[in-house]
């Protein structure tokens, strides 16, 4: 039994998992560029106040799940590892003066986030998200564009049957009246509320609609719907979002209990689920409009919209659906030799091929040629480059391990020959 282990709630990304995650990051990066999002990187930790103000002090993320850092000096500032990306990106938007840039400013980030959460399947204390933010456009067209961007990501990643859940949570003009209606409704049933939900009733009643407690299901289903309280401006905005999604043929379902329970969130809220998997491992990802956040973090009032998609959840969804998260990484060729001891020649040829951009492995163990070829076949390499007596005349044997054919190739033509085979996937 090993003496040291990864911290509880974390895991090592072993090569196969890391390769799958890299594939998802590559898809995200490609899509972000196509949609006009520019990459940004924010620190892994921020002033705690960024999250307290940006996420909200009465949320589970801040109250229970922040990884707070203890400084080694007597610094007065407190720090916390980032539990999500939006607050840090908006802080950077304000600090760097991006409000003077052409609007909207569209930013993207993929990387690790940290929450002191109860570890379970699909939920880690260090987890990975892809985040996109469009700051400076009041929508509704940009809302639909962002929703489609997330939906397209799942399609290109190979996750089947992804559906958008969609709602409007109103704005500062119409939501206060709804909150009072909601508070009065749940207040009449306070005796039935679990302890956590009774506290939320006083601090953030909108969060009751997001409760995962099964005892709340019937109360939530019968609760007043915010759609009955939207002002004309919010109704018009929401209708336009839906019209744009219809034009883009993005499948969605209206979900009146879908909320973002913070004061700065406004209007559009959305989440992504696999059809039939609602409630299992929660959403794959989600987002919403946060028209008050820039002002809350020190900027002037600026509309904003963003999403965060959980990449760990996508890997699980792919595994659950039987889809491959990534193709096995194999070398194009393995350099082997008839002289087991001549590792120098094998390494030199491998180095020359790598300089040409080819993925090759040199067999550096002093073992018989048959064992070297056996190892190359187990790695599913396409070719074995055999260095034998022909090397003295400037030739090598190129063996197609799939077809079982072998031919003599001039060493000077080897890189072009292998590159041509790699492009065409035609061997022999």
Q: What is the pTM of this model?
A: 0.86
Q: Could you state, in order of their start, the residue ranges of all structural domains in the chain?
A: 15-174+230-321, 333-419
Q: Is the pLDDT of residue 164 over 60?
A: yes
The predicted structure's pLDDT at residue 263: 66
Provide long-range contacts, Cβ within 8 A and 24+ apart, for 240-244.
Answer: 240/139, 240/140, 240/141, 241/139, 241/140, 241/143, 241/144, 241/147, 241/166, 241/168, 241/268, 242/166, 244/140, 244/141, 244/143, 244/144, 244/145
Tokens at residue 340, please? 């087991």
pLDDT digits (tens, 9 = 90+) for 211-253: 878 888 889 989 999 888 899 999 999 999 999 999 999 999 9
pLDDT of 57 > 70? The answer is: no
Structure tokens given for 60: 């589970």
Phi-psi region of 131 (alpha: psi -120 to 50; beta: other; left: phi over 0): beta
In this predicted structure, what is the pLDDT of residue 209? Answer: 87
Three-state DSSP at 104 gives coil
**Which CA distances in Å does 225 have to 179, 186, 214, 258?**
11, 13, 19, 10
User: What is the DSSP secondary-structure string of 287-341?
Assistant: EEE-TTHHHHTTS----EEEEEEEHHHHHHHHHHHT--SSPPP--SEEEEESSTT
Nearest to 135 by CA among 172, 89, 83: 89
> Is 251 in contact with 164 (CB distance < 8 Å)?
yes
Q: Rounded CA gap, 104 and 239, in Å?
A: 22
pLDDT tens, 100-147? 999 999 999 999 999 987 777 668 899 999 999 999 999 899 999 999
HSE at residue 188, side-chain half, CA atoms within 13 A, is: 9
* 3-state DSSP assignment of residue 204: coil
Residue 391 scores a pLDDT above 90: yes
CA distance 220 to 389: 79
CATH code reported for the domain at 333-419: 3.40.50.800
C-alpha span between 149 and 9 (Å, rounded): 30
Fold of 15-174+230-321: BirA Bifunctional Protein; domain 2 (3.30.930)
Q: Is the pLDDT of residue 72 over 80?
A: no
For residues 285-293, average pLDDT: 93
């Amino acid at each position: 039994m090993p003496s040291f282990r990864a911290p509880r709630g974390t895991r090592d990304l072993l090569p196969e998992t890391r390769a799958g995650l890299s594939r998802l990051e590559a898809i995200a990066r490609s899509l972000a560029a196509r949609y006009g999002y520019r990459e940004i990187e924010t620190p892994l930790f921020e002033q705690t106040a960024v999250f307290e103000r940006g996420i909200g002090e009465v949320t589970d993320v801040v109250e229970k799940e922040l990884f707070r850092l203890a400084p080694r000096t007597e610094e007065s500032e407190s720090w916390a590892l980032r539990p999500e990306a939006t607050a840090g990106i908006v802080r950077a938007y304000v600090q760097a003066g991006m409000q003077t840039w052409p609007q909207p400013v569209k930013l993207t980030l993929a990387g690790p986030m940290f929450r002191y959460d109860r570890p379970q399947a699909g939920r880690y204390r260090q987890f990975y998200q892809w985040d996109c933010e469009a700051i400076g456009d009041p929508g509704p067209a940009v809302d639909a564009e962002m929703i489609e961007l997330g939906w397209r990501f799942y399609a290109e990643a190979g996750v089947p049957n992804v559906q958008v859940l969609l709602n409007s949570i109103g704005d500062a003009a119409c939501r206060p009246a709804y909150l009072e209606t909601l508070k009065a409704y749940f207040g009449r049933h306070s005796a039935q509320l679990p302890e956590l939900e009774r506290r939320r009733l006083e601090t953030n009643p909108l969060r009751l609609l997001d409760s995962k407690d099964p005892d709340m299901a019937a109360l939530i289903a019968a609760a007043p719907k915010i759609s009955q309280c939207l002002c004309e401006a919010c109704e018009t905005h929401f209708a336009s979002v839906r019209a744009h999604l219809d034009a883009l043929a993005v499948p969605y379902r209206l979900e009146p209990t879908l909320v973002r329970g913070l004061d700065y969130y406004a209007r559009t809220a959305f989440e992504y689920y696999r059809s039939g998997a609602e409630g299992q491992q929660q959403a794959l990802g989600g987002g919403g409009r946060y028209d008050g956040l820039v002002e809350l973090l020190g900027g002037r009032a600026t509309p904003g919209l963003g999403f965060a998609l959980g990449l760990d959840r996508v890997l699980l969804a792919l595994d659950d659906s039987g889809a491959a998260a990534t193709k096995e990484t194999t070398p194009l060729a393995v350099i082997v030799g008839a002289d087991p001891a001549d590792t120098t020649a094998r390494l030199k040829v491998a180095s020359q091929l790598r300089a040409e951009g080819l993925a090759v492995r040199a067999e550096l163990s002093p073992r018989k040629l048959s064992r070297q070829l056996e190892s190359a076949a187990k790695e599913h390499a396409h070719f074995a480059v055999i260095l034998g007596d022909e090397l003295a005349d400037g030739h090598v044997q190129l063996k197609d391990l799939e077809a079982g054919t072998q031919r003599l190739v001039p060493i000077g033509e080897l890189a072009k020959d292998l590159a041509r085979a790699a492009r065409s996937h035609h061997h022999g």
